[in-house]
Structure 1
């Protein structure tokens, strides 16, 4: 399945719920030959915009030798260091600084891009950006740091850049023999693309269908038993639920290299997908709730419709290898037709 670079950019922007931030960066995908180039240009241009805007700063605790007295005076350690004779003291104080985790992750990613020469022609531009991070420490990047970096700061543009940092970190691997970095193209990873596709569709409808409530929904099993037994039932959560008045649509997204499965040379809908959606419809209280299984188009487009009592069940595909405006139109018409 080929997805144009421009469409990958839109998928990421919607999935991260950062469409406005992506538009601010204004990266043309026309001259980018692969996903890594796209991410690199986007990250660098976003970092430039960040520098013009100014790095966020926060108060960080300092425990240091200070000429004079500042904050809380540490008498014991000051006496041990013989600092008083020099007119100094060990003090505990808070200082406004840009040397905070979000900035450290952005700087460290810029340094990494420069070191491994993903796009050598950009090295000079990266050096110019790094000047603005002179007070920020370089740190080893690890996966657990990203959620920590986002938790204390509510800045959408920072979140957008940190998402790119994380995606680069997850997919850049060191080749053990040569020591060179290799980029694992996440668009060829079915598991990663399944997560991206689901988040993209959910946030697309959340942004574009303002008259609908769009969310993930926990459904309750319509089974009778004791409370002791109920706790053993598995959690049942939809990928996407759309609600507008009495109308309710449950969408289950799937991302496969093959949309249909073969059974004795006959193409069939993936049975487990249909069973899952059927279970969702049977275990909720809206008697006319619609269900949609949504796949990306691989070889052929599908639009199938079935009924169970008053529930309509549809099998739909969306062609991601077409101009973005047509993807936009097709996703809207799927719900509004």
Structure 2
């Protein structure tokens, strides 16, 4: 793979993230699509610089922390034992404990830590490292954490800190050694320890692409009604689709996959994963049962890796149309968009 092709893959990861987190609506992020990046670390540095600068203008997250201080006036609660100790030293001060908003939150610690990791990398352009240092200058008083022991499950999001969700995803990729594996001059999608994170990114990207570029379609992540009888056990799993596209009475349910090999070896040859096929069939059959007037089709969409060949298959079975397709993330983004547009045309 040539250097130019390497940059194609790197830039496409940016596009996936931009669509998945709807960052294309931010002008600063949109201009990154025209820039050149020397490495995936360089791309992460550019995104994190813009994200941190945007968050600084909005205001970094702050949380209350308990402080204890010797004071001449009362603030908050008086620490009686501490004050008596001062009196025994003949000091006319009061020990007070009070809460104060401070920027030293766990999310800000993760931001500062991962920005520091990027600054230390030689494959990040000098100007981006300088930009990151300027961003860190506004995070005085924020501690750092061990990047190998970040408690990602500890992160919580709500209406007032939703902007951190995108930034924490970038930090996750930085801390976990990125989504790229470097083999000589070859950049490929790597299998990181938490494959679910990459799968979620791919799923959100596909969903948001259709939602943004095809307003003529109804795009949903839908819970399909099982049509179960009254009194059915509560342990039955819910049927949540990754992407459901609808145009009038035509419905296409897409199940996205971004891990593992697509075709598995069996004695009779290579076959599609039975679990993946059963999953999409369950979605389609139950959706068709709940809305018999609709024409419901199903598709399993895989992110194409270097382990498999491209697939574009279609067949009829039990009264429904089925598809199995791969999305090649190693081509120019215009080619990725063209493949997704072809899928939209099937509805």
TM-score by length of 1: 0.77
In the alignment, structure 1 residue 248 sits paired with structure 2 residue 254: no
RMSD, aligned CA: 3.7
Q: Contact 2:41 / 2:124 at 8 angstroms: preserved in 1?
A: no
In the alignment, structure 1 residue 187 sits paired with structure 2 residue 189: yes
In structure 1, the residue matched to 2:184 is none
In the alignment, structure 1 residue 332 sits paired with structure 2 residue 337: no
In structure 1, the residue matched to 2:84 is 79
In structure 2, the residue matched to 1:92 is 97
Q: Equivalent of 2:21, from 16, 20, 24?
A: 16
**How far is 1:125 from its partner?**
4.2
CA gap 1:47/1:264 in 2 versus in 1, 3 angstroms? same
In the alignment, structure 1 residue 170 sits paired with structure 2 residue 176: yes
Q: Which moved more, 1:86-95 or 1:135-144?
A: 135-144
CA gap 1:142/1:244 in 2 versus in 1, 3 angstroms? farther
Alignment of 1:218-237 (within 5 A): 218-221=223-226, 227=232, 230-237=233-240
3-state SS, counterpart of residue 208 of structure 2: helix
In structure 1, the residue matched to 2:321 is 312
Q: Equivalent of 1:197, from 202, 215, 230?
A: 202
- Residues of 2 paired with 1:220 and 1:270: CA distance? 24
**How far is 1:133 from its partner?**
1.6
In structure 1, the residue matched to 2:183 is none
Q: Which runs of 5+ in 2 are unaligned?
A: 179-186
In structure 1, the residue matched to 2:140 is 134
- Number of residue pairs matched? 322
Q: Deviations over 1:61-100 (max 9, x none)?
A: 3233233211233333322343995443222323233333
- Residues of 1 paired with 2:252 and 2:89: CA distance? 72
3-state SS, counterpart of residue 299 of structure 2: strand
TM-score by length of 2: 0.75
In the alignment, structure 1 residue 208 sits paired with structure 2 residue 208: no
**How far is 1:198 from its partner?**
2.0
3-state SS, counterpart of residue 46 of structure 1: helix
**How far is 1:25 from its partner?**
6.9
In the alignment, structure 1 residue 295 sits paired with structure 2 residue 308: no
CA gap 1:21/1:148 in 2 versus in 1, 3 angstroms? farther
